[in-house]
Structure 1
Amino acid sequence: MWNADSRLLVKLWLKTPLRIATAAPSGQDVCAAMVEPVDPEAPGWMVELGGGTGPVTRALIDHGIPPERLLVVENNAELHRLLQERFPQVTAVNGDAGSLDAILSAHGATPVHTVISTLPILTMPAALQRRILDSAFAAMGPGGRFLQITYMPGSPVPKRRLRQWGYQAEVARFIARNFPPATIWCYQRQENRAG
Structure 2
Amino acid sequence: MQSNSGAAFIQRFLKNPAQVGAIAATSPAVSRRLAEPIPETGDPLVVELGPGNGAVTEWILRRLGGRGHLMAIEIDPVFAEMLQRNYPALDVAVADAGDLAKLLSDRGLGTVDTVVSALPWTTFSDEQTRRILRALAASMSPDGVFTTITYTTARMMPPWRRVLAALNDTFETVEPSRAIWANLPPAFVYEARRPRLRA
Question: If the length of structure 2 is used for normalisation, what is the TM-score?
Answer: 0.85
Tell me the number of residue pairs that the alignment of Structure 1 and Structure 2 aligns.
192
Q: CA deviation at 1:160?
A: 3.3
Q: After TM superposition, which residue ranges in structure 1, 4 or more long, deviate above 6 angstroms?
A: none
**Residues 6 and 23 in structure 1, CA contact (< 8 A), matched pair in contact too:** no
Higher RCO (C-alpha 8 Å, min separation 6): 2
Shifted more, 154-163 versus 81-90: the winner is 154-163
C-alpha separation between the residues in 2 aligned to 1:114 and 1:187? 10
* Equivalent residue, structure 2, for 1:141: 141
Residue in 2 aligned with 1:186?
Answer: 191
Give the superposition deviation at 1:41.
1.9
Counterpart of 2:41 in structure 1: which amino acid?
Answer: E
C-alpha displacement of 1:190: 6.6
Residues 113-136 of structure 1: per-residue CA shift (max 9 Å, x gap): 000000111211111111111111
In structure 1, what residue type is equivalent to 2:56? V
Unaligned regions of 5+ residues in structure 2, if any?
A: none
Deviation string for 1:131-187 (max 9, x for gaps)? 111111211111111111111225565443444456542114531222321111112
Within 2, Cα distance between the matches of 1:103 and 1:183? 29
- RMSD after superposition: 2.4
2:155 aligned to which of 132, 153, 177 = 153
Query: Which position in structure 2 is the counterpart of 1:169?
Result: 174
Residues 29 and 177, structure 1, Cα contact 8 Å, conserved in 2: yes
Given that residues 47 and 70 in structure 2 are in contact (C-alpha distance below 8 angstroms), is that contact kept between their aligned partners in structure 1?
Answer: yes
CA distance in 2, matches of 1:65, 1:106: 25
The Cα offsets for residues 34-68 of structure 1, whole Å up to 9 and x where unpaired, read as 11222132544100001111111111111225376
Give identity over the alignment, percent.
Answer: 29
